């Protein structure tokens, strides 16, 4: 694989979901490509297909049509066994509700994925300690999730997601359940991940404040990409478009 191979390519992705007789076109042909180290967001109204898209990228679900390539490798035709391996080695997930194992300590939670990896590490416990220390939790190694704040739990979840050094870190509203202070701490942790490890980060978010902190934002509406680019430029374009619309108002009236 060359250095210039995109870490992720999404090609004309379609997903139809069914509930009884009702069919929903959750994704209607989504395409984009993501370079190594990008810090990217997916935004859009509720029901626009964001979680569906993230699930397909992460190999949690298979598309009706289209392809997902990770490091140039098509994951859409893989067996469940191959997918499990890709999920464990190439992809880290962070969810809104942390999903930590309640009976394990922070350190044990982070060490766990390393014990399932094909490429076994010499010392998962030591690496778990290093990762937690990186996220400011060096003094919380032996706490269980219930003994940690929401922001601390989410940092443990990020450390766990990074345990096997994935190429892609995927977050479905990772700050959706946090107050603004904890949310800022988690965003700072994610920025550090990108800077120190060069991991590509893709976040689904409802927050315009968070979207504005990202390099690139893809906007989905009704299962389709309606814009893709630098969020600051997009805000500017929306502003100019609004201004043009206002300038045009008299002629529309006339």
Taken in order 132, 107, 158, 122, the sign of the CA dihedral is positive
Under the criterion CB under 6 A, does residue 51 sit at the interface with ligand ATP? Answer: yes
Min dist. Cβ of residue 172 to Mg ion (A): 6
Under the criterion CB under 6 A, does residue 17 sit at the interface with ligand ATP? Answer: yes
Q: Which is nearer to ligand ATP, 37 or 47 (CB)?
A: 47
Which string of DSSP letters, residue by residue, matches 70-129? ETTEE-TT--HHHHHHHHHHHEEEE-TT----TTS-HHHHHHHHHHH-SS--S-HHHHHH
Q: Which does 79 bind (CB under 5 to 8 A by kind): ligand ATP, Mg ion, none?
A: none
In the chain the first and final C-alpha atoms are separated, in Å, by 60
Under the criterion CB under 5 A, does residue 51 sit at the interface with Mg ion? Answer: yes
Residue of closest CB approach to Mg ion: 51
Q: Which does 2 bind (CB under 5 to 8 A by kind): ligand ATP, Mg ion, none?
A: none
Min dist. Cβ of residue 14 to ligand ATP (A): 12
Min dist. Cβ of residue 41 to ligand ATP (A): 13
Q: Which helix (H) or strand (E) holds 228?
A: strand 224-229
**From the CA atom positions of the chain, what is the Rg in Å?**
20
Strand 200-204 versus strand 168-172 pairing type: parallel
Q: Which does 63 bind (CB under 5 to 8 A by kind): Mg ion, ligand ATP, none?
A: none
Under the criterion CB under 6 A, does residue 50 sit at the interface with ligand ATP? Answer: yes
Report yes or no: 223 and 229 within 8 Å, Cβ to Cβ.
Answer: no
Question: What tokens appear for 221 in the block?
Answer: 């509406």
Report yes or no: 204 and 47 within 8 Å, Cβ to Cβ.
Answer: no
Q: Which is nearer to ligand ATP, 65 or 192 (CB)?
A: 65
- Sole window of 49-57, 66-74, 79-87, 212-220 interacting with Mg ion (rule: CB under 5 A): 49-57
Site for Mg ion, rule CB under 5 A: 51
Site for ligand ATP, rule CB under 6 A: 17, 19, 24, 26, 44, 46-52
């Amino acid at each position: 694989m060359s250095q210039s191979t995109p870490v992720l390519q999404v090609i004309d992705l379609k997903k139809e979901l069914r509930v009884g007789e009702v069919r929903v076109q959750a994704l209607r042909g989504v395409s984009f490509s993501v370079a190594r180290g990008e810090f990217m967001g997916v935004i859009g109204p509720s029901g626009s297909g964001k979680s569906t898209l993230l699930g397909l990228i992460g190999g949690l679900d298979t598309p009706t049509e289209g392809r997902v390539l990770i490091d140039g490798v098509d994951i859409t035709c893989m067996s469940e066994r191959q997918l499990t391996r890709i999920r464990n080695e190439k992809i880290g997930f962070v969810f809104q509700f942390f999903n930590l194992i309640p009976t394990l300590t922070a350190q044990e939670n982070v060490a766990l994925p390393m014990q399932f990896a094909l490429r076994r590490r010499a010392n998962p416990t030591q690496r778990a300690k290093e990762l937690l220390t990186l996220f400011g939790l060096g003094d919380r190694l032996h706490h269980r999730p219930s003994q940690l704040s929401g922001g601390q739990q989410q940092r443990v979840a990020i450390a766990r997601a990074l345990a096997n050094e994935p190429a892609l870190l995927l977050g479905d509203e990772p700050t959706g359940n946090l107050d603004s202070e904890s949310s800022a701490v988690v965003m700072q942790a994610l920025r550090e991940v990108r800077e120190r490890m060069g991991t590509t980060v893709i976040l689904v978010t409802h927050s315009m404040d968070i979207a504005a902190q990202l390099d690139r934002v893809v906007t989905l509406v009704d299962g389709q990409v309606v814009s893709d680019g630098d969020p600051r430029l997009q805000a500017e374009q929306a502003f100019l478009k609004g201004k043009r619309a206002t300038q045009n108002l008299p002629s529309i009236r006339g």
